[in-house]
Amino acid sequence: MNKYLDIKDEVKQALKEGKPVVALESTIISHGMPYPKNVETALRVEQTIRENGAVPATIAIIGGRLKVGLTAEDLEYFGKKGPAITKVSRRDIALVAARNQDGATTVAATMIIAAMAGIKVFATGGIGGVHRGAEKTMDISADLDEFVKTPMIVVCAGAKAILDLNLTMEYLETKGVPVFCYKTNELPAFYTKSSGISAPNRADSAQEIADAFNAQQSLGLGGGLLVANPIPDEYSMDPLRINGAIEQALDEMEKAGIHGKETTPYLLDKIQKLTGGESLESNIMLVLNNAKLAAEIASSL
């Protein structure tokens, strides 16, 4: 057992008995939504996973300990402390652990810690990717490279809509990452059902995704698999409205000189304000939708 790793008893028992387990990230709690909506959502996501036959394992770093499975008290702590908690990706894990600090895990960090515990499925909102203007800034999320290194099925609603989705897909293709779009022939665009980008692969069942992942691992190809699950119709936003808000938020961010790991939290907050909270509601519903599919995939494995 990794000396820095603490696995919640419920999760440890489920893994021991071969029951389905779904990992969840903690950045969405601390940096993705305001309090108390963030805690309410975290609890709803965990409950959705339970209702669909799996055990939730929200992942975070608390006092230097890599936590696989949080208590209600832990979730409340993260929700209240919010952006004051360090946002942690691969490069940050060891330092935060060594300094006995708290860390909110991004997609990449969640994949790493979940894999340490033996978890194979992870549900999130949207993955990081290639940022707009990356040909100048080289701002590319570490999430994308993690798919090459870590064996994990990640269920999302596509890459976050604030990103350059075409370049993100090109990057994943270059890295050889399998991408499946669930019951659709077009890549979803987080807040909206479609980006207009053709799906690399279509999957019509959780079992099909599980089988593809098992084949990938059996063939010794390693790495992860990305599942893009469209937001439900009733919560899909008007493309003109959300894209207008994104463009305005990007313009204001550039004027404010915000960059690096502060980019995504700033944009998500600005967009939810510009849309009168509509984008936040869509964000919550797509995460719940992803949790349901992730539980089904974990059961199929």
CA distance 103 to 190: 25
The rounded Cα 188 to chain-centroid distance in angstroms is 14
Of 85, 105, 86, 84, whose CA–CA distance to 23 is shortest?
105
The sign of the dihedral angle between the CA atoms of 268, 52, 113, 12 is positive
Residues recognised as catalytic: 25, 160
* Rounded distance between C-alpha atoms, residue 70 and residue 207, angstroms: 28
Can you read off the two tokens belonging to residue 279? 């984008």
Residue 269 and residue 279: Cα distance in Å, rounded?
9
Q: How far apart are CA 24 and CA 59, in angstroms?
A: 6
Backbone angles phi, psi at 20, to 5 degrees: -65, 135
Read off φ and ψ for residue 18, nearest 5 degrees: 75, 25
Tokens 């059996």 correspond to what residue? Answer: 218
Residue type, 100: N
CA–CA gap between residue 162 and residue 247 (Å, rounded):
8
Q: Are 210 and 297 in contact (CB under 8 A)?
A: yes
